[in-house]
Amino acid sequence: MLKFGNETNKTLLYILIAFAFSVAVRMIWVYQFSGYEAFMFNGQFMINTNDGYYFAEGARDILSGVNQKNDLSPITSAVSQLTAFFAAILPFSFESVILYMPVFLSSLVVVPIILIAKNLDNLELGFIAALLACIGWSYYNRTMVGYYDTDMLNIVLPMFLLWSIVWAIKTNQDRYLIITALDILIYRWWYPASYALEFSFFALILVYVLVYDRKNLYNYKLLALMMFAMLMVDGYIRVALVLGVFFLLRQERFQKYVYHIFAASVILFLATGGVEPIWFRLKGYVFKDLVSAGAQGLNLHFFTVMQTVREAGSIPFSEFANRISGHVLTFILSLIGFIYLAYRHKIMLFALPMIGLGFLAMVGGLRFTIYAVPVLAFGIAFLITEISLLMPNKKIKYLSMAVLTLAVLFPNIRHVESYKVPTVFSAEEVNTLAQLKQKADREDYVIAWWDYGYPIRYYADVKTLVDGGKHSGEVNFPVSFMLTNPQDVSAKMARLDVEFTERNFKSPKAFTNIEQMSTEYGFDDTNDFLLSLQTQMKLPEKTREIYFYLPFKMLNIYPTVGAFSNIDLMSGKAMKEPFFFMSRNFSDTQDTIELGRGVSINKKDQTLKMGQQIVPIRRFTKTFYDAGMHLKKNTQLMNFNSNISVIYMSNYNTFLVVDEKTYNSLYIQLMVLEEYDASLYEKIIATPHAKVYKLKI
């Protein structure tokens, strides 16, 4: 039987408790929504991150052995592969596996934290830091139950890397050489963008070695193995190289070649384009003009997604601090604590890349704060353990530790309680997609805004034109065009865009679909081509079915969807914005209906007051569902000189005020009014939450 020393027992105990704590706090969300059917599918909660459906699709396809060309399913991604593995060996449903994977994997972060502290001979430091880090605000947000994404290991893996680097430098034991290299291999497999952090660790160690420990051969072995693990070549080759080199480095007769091996690793690194990513970024800044000057053809201008995302920079300091430590005061004390810790234990300076990346949030956006969480948790935990040392006896020492730790945890737990994130889709929406799956073929396309791309592909097992990773201005343009233009031109655009997309998979072209369409139909002005969609035209041969998925909730983003096609592609100038006004918070007075923001309907003279302006109403439409859940509508035609119509969606408690362009759009006609041209579309599914039509042409 194994007999553990006292300290090993204590280490294991601390790890177990911290791990259990991390899991338990993540179960608060499950507890809060227990029994809430709207968040459930197949008897399990659905996930709450859109991108998760991307990996879920890949895992689903791996498990079912589907290998479909050009469907964008990530069957080679690490997340999908690991998920498929877990789903295959564990006795839980697939839905349960993807829901709980983040809970258990992200909680592993407590292991390296406690093991690093063990190196500093201060296990309590590790235990307290682990408790705080595992539920630290931004770490929790991105690793909570259902947050199924790469984040679940994105901090765990570099923390293990930090642990093995710390132990390598401290102990110079061979095993940490291979552990460090393997960790880099796994981290890169899991998250290809890990490169920057790996390189920062490498550079920091190199500086340390050159300045403080130049004559120690072990250091060069460590650097060489890190470098081999980081080469810009296929993962299998790197694994083989790392194992081979490690085998050589362990042998006495190769000790005289360590410098050569290190030099070889650096040369190979440079030769395989190791600095390319850095160089590439630099080129982007320095030679910006040269990069974009190569464009030829029609030189179209597309709307960029960045124009719709609110400026990421200038985060308020309190927000930044909260995200890292849960409270501004904790954050400041953590910083002081970390400086003190690094002063007392210089080895902790190797954590600087994590802090650096975390502080990038100041300029690069909130998503980076997560990297600073565990390292700064060390800071506050160190202060707590130092304060406890001042206490007169053991009892008060542990009591003070407990009280201070609880005080630090408290704001973070409060945050967890209040962070009631909904699932991406509601049960009703997903049921619509599950029904669609029965009707649609795997090769068919479903057209919807990119926000719904991944979940649609996961639940309906179809293809999409745009998704969470494919939504640049040029691919969004046709989809935006279809959703916000009249049904007849949208139908043609749908057939064109799907067939052009498929054709380009087989023989890729340098130009965008929309540009290819324009030139192939004989236009050198895209605006003329778009106009020509209103006329008779010969469409490409139909190779598959096309469906439109129109969720009610897209109403909230209708103007944003429209912005992507409401642009003159030739000049890049935005066109006059169609009118769209929505109100869910209105009040009926005697003579008017107040819609808010200065808009009101005058019932008597049937006009609309918008600010100081009074305009007649073209038509007033009221929609409602009958007992059989069929959409019915009453339309009153009022004034044909007006361009503005009012739609009252009574069951949705929603008023729409729209101009003719918006009123006639495919989305309003097919989703809001179910007014479709039966020669072009077939209604497949119609629920209040989402409607699905099949294209007939």
**Cβ closest to Mn ion, residue 66 vs residue 336:** 66
Strand ranges in 175-309 using DSSP code E only, listed in sequence order: none
**Cβ closest to Mn ion, residue 155 vs residue 456:** 456
For residue 601, which phi and psi values (nearest 5 degrees)?
Answer: -100, 125
d(CA 107, CA 14): 13
**Cβ closest to Mn ion, residue 68 vs residue 543:** 68
- Please identify the residue of the shown chain whose CB is closest to the bound Mn ion: 71
**Cβ closest to Mn ion, residue 461 vs residue 499:** 461
Kindly state the smallest distance separating residue 306's Cβ from Mn ion, in Å. Answer: 29
3-class secondary structure, 61: helix
**Cβ closest to Mn ion, residue 68 vs residue 304:** 68
Question: Looking at 73-81, 135-143, 164-172, 654-662, which segment touches Mn ion (CB under 5 A)?
Answer: 73-81
d(CA 464, CA 483): 14
Kindly state the smallest distance separating residue 441's Cβ from Mn ion, in Å. Answer: 10
The verdict on 34 binding Mn ion (CB under 5 A) reads no
* DSSP result, 219-239: HHHHHHHHHHHH-SS-HHHHH
Q: Please name the residues in contact with 332: beta carbons below 8 A apart, sequence gap of 6 or more.
A: 321
d(CA 256, CA 238): 23
**Cβ closest to Mn ion, residue 441 vs residue 528:** 441
Number of residues that bind Mn ion (CB under 5 A): 3
* DSSP result, 643-673: -EEEEEEGGGTEEEEEEHHHHTSHIIIIIIS
* DSSP result, 588-625: E-SSEEEEETTEEEETTTTEEEETTEEEE-SEEEEEEE
Question: Looking at 72-80, 169-177, 399-407, 604-612, which segment touches Mn ion (CB under 5 A)?
Answer: 72-80
Both tokens of 384, joined, read 């707590």
Kindly state the smallest distance separating residue 443's Cβ from Mn ion, in Å. Answer: 8
**DSSP state for residue 582 in the 8-state scheme:** E
Question: Looking at 65-73, 115-123, 141-149, 255-263, which segment touches Mn ion (CB under 5 A)?
Answer: 65-73
Kindly state the smallest distance separating residue 80's Cβ from Mn ion, in Å. Answer: 12
The verdict on 467 binding Mn ion (CB under 5 A) reads no
**Cβ closest to Mn ion, residue 71 vs residue 499:** 71
Kindly state the smallest distance separating residue 56's Cβ from Mn ion, in Å. Answer: 12
Interface of this chain with Mn ion, residues 623 to 652, rule: CB under 5 A: none
**Cβ closest to Mn ion, residue 71 vs residue 444:** 71
Kindly state the smallest distance separating residue 73's Cβ from Mn ion, in Å. Answer: 5
Kindly state the smallest distance separating residue 371's Cβ from Mn ion, in Å. Answer: 34
Kindly state the smallest distance separating residue 68's Cβ from Mn ion, in Å. Answer: 5
Question: Looking at 62-70, 202-210, 390-398, 486-494, which segment touches Mn ion (CB under 5 A)?
Answer: 62-70
Q: Please name the residues in contact with 300: beta carbons below 8 A apart, sequence gap of 6 or more.
A: 474, 512, 514, 515, 526, 569, 570
The verdict on 543 binding Mn ion (CB under 5 A) reads no
3-class secondary structure, 691: strand
**Cβ closest to Mn ion, residue 71 vs residue 183:** 71
**Cβ closest to Mn ion, residue 348 vs residue 498:** 498
Kindly state the smallest distance separating residue 442's Cβ from Mn ion, in Å. Answer: 5
Give me the sheet containing 681-686, strands edge to edge: 463-464, 445-447, 546-551, 690-695, 681-686
Kindly state the smallest distance separating residue 445's Cβ from Mn ion, in Å. Answer: 11
**Cβ closest to Mn ion, residue 68 vs residue 255:** 68
The verdict on 71 binding Mn ion (CB under 5 A) reads yes
Longest dimension (CA), the chain: 99
Question: Looking at 61-69, 74-82, 116-124, 471-479, which segment touches Mn ion (CB under 5 A)?
Answer: 61-69
Residue ranges of alpha helices (H) inside 33-109 are 52-64, 78-89, 94-107
d(CA 474, CA 513): 8
d(CA 654, CA 670): 17
Interface of this chain with Mn ion, residues 480 to 499, rule: CB under 5 A: none
The verdict on 68 binding Mn ion (CB under 5 A) reads yes
Give, to the nearest 10 degrees, the angle between helix 487-506 and helix 513-520.
100
Contacting residues toward Mn ion, per CB under 5 A: 68, 71, 73
